Amino acid sequence: MYGSYGGIVRGARPRVRAGVRAEKVGEVRAAKAVLKEDFDEELPGKVVQVSTIKQEFKGRVAGTSRYWIKLETESGVVYVNKAHIVSVSPA
C-alpha cells in the first residue's frame, strides 16, 4: 500500500469497500453475472410484429445481435435497432 508521501508502507492491509469483507467482494461480482439481459434466444424463427417509435414491422426473425434484430418481411430484409423498439409481439 502507499503512504501519504507516495511510497509503499510495509504491513498495510489491502483496501476493501466500506462494509464489505474481502471474501464478499468476489461473491457480489459473481452474482451479477447471472442476470439476464434480454430474451433474444426466444425470437429466432418466429413470426413477430415489431413496433418502433415511428413504424411497425411484421416478419420472421432471421437473427439478433447485441443492438439489432434482423427481420425477413414481405418487402425484404429489415434491420431494426433495439433502442427504437417499443414492443415485440407474436403475429
User: Which domains does the chain show, CATH number per domain?
Assistant: 40-90 (2.30.30.100)
In angstroms, rounded to a whole number, what is the distance separating the alpha carbons of residues 30 and 1?
26
Q: What is the pLDDT along the chain (91 residues), one digit of tens a residue?
A: 555 555 666 666 666 556 555 555 555 555 555 666 678 788 899 999 999 999 999 999 999 998 999 999 999 999 999 999 999 999 8
Residue 77 has a pLDDT of 96
Residue 22 has a pLDDT of 54
Residue 14 has a pLDDT of 60
Cβ atoms < 10 Å from Cβ of 88: 19
Which candidate, 41, 54, 63, places its Cα nearest to that of 83? Answer: 54
Residue 29 has a pLDDT of 55
For the full predicted model, state whether its pTM sits above 0.85.
no
Lookup: cell for 54: 415511428
Residue 16 has a pLDDT of 57
